[in-house]
Amino acid sequence: MVQNEIKTPANDPVERVPGESYVPDAMWEEERIMAERASPARSLGAYDLRVSVKNLALPKPVTILATTTIRQAVALMQNGSFGSVLVVDAQGVLEGIFTERDMLLKISGHRLDWDKEIVGTFMTTNPETLGDTANLAFVLNLMTSGGFRHVPIVDEQKRPLAVVSIRDVVRYICSFFAKEVENLPPRPEILHPEIRESV
């Protein structure tokens, strides 16, 4: 017994759905990745160092008074994962900076009462600063020539606006090589098993 074949009349319009709607999402993702790989790589040049510090999306700085205890300052740095805090006077004008380096060189290893000792005793006074119109090249100049890891950004009254850290600089530079950096495994031996086997 042969079943009757159902035929659509020639003049009966057939609803057609665009073919791309049948393409699985995974295929679209693969096409996107291929297009991304084929696109020209973003290159880092001297012009890119002219980016203003205003464009680095820096968070507001954490400020404290010189009378803040060492324990309070360290707790702030630990809780916020900051490498430094800025020390201001009662009017909010920058007086100094207290950094991880100050902790290591001036406090660590000494028998000090962190609940009594204050930041003003150990901070770096009158730190080098830049205005918010400065560009990244000036930040790098200060960091390399002075050996700084943090550069305060201040207004005309020397009130803190932000802090540029070496982490901010690295993050900006890595943005030019996002594919090369972000797609790497956590350790090189995963990418090159022969290294692990030879050890």
Give yes or no for residue 89 having a pLDDT over 80. yes
Which whole-number Å values give the CA distances from 146 to 11, 137, 151, in the listed order? 83, 14, 10
Number of domains in the chain: 1
Task: Please tell me the distance from the alpha carbon of residue 95 to that of residue 101, in angstroms, as a whole number.
Answer: 17
Mean pLDDT of the region 85-107: 96
In a domain, 138, yes or no: yes
pLDDT at 48: 82
In a domain, 36, yes or no: no
pLDDT at 21: 46
| Residue 195 confidence class, pLDDT cut points 50, 70, 90 | low
| Residue 6 confidence class, pLDDT cut points 50, 70, 90 | very low
Give yes or no for residue 22 having a pLDDT over 90. no
Pairing mode, if any, of strands 150-154 and 124-125? unpaired
In a domain, 9, yes or no: no
pLDDT at 165: 93
Whether 124 contacts 113, CB under 8 Å: no
Who's near 130: CB < 8 A, 6+ residues apart? 53, 138, 139, 142, 151, 152, 153, 154, 164
In a domain, 39, yes or no: no
Give yes or no for residue 106 having a pLDDT over 60. yes
Mean pLDDT of the region 43-59: 83
Which class for 45: exposed (0-12), middle (13-18), buried (19 or more C-beta within 10 A)?
Answer: exposed
Torsional class of 98: left (φ above 0), alpha (ψ -120 to 50), beta (otherwise): beta
In a domain, 82, yes or no: yes
| Residue 134 confidence class, pLDDT cut points 50, 70, 90 | very high
Task: Share the mean pLDDT of the chain.
Answer: 82
Which class for 97: exposed (0-12), middle (13-18), buried (19 or more C-beta within 10 A)?
Answer: buried
CATH code of the domain covering residue 55:
3.10.580.10
Beta-bridge partner residues of 160: 154
In a domain, 151, yes or no: yes
Residue range of the domain that includes 125: 46-174
In a domain, 41, yes or no: no
Mean pLDDT of the region 105-128: 95
In a domain, 91, yes or no: yes
Question: Over the stretch 142-190, which tens digit does the pLDDT of each residue have?
Answer: 999 999 999 999 999 999 999 999 999 988 888 888 777 777 777 777 7
pLDDT at 27: 58
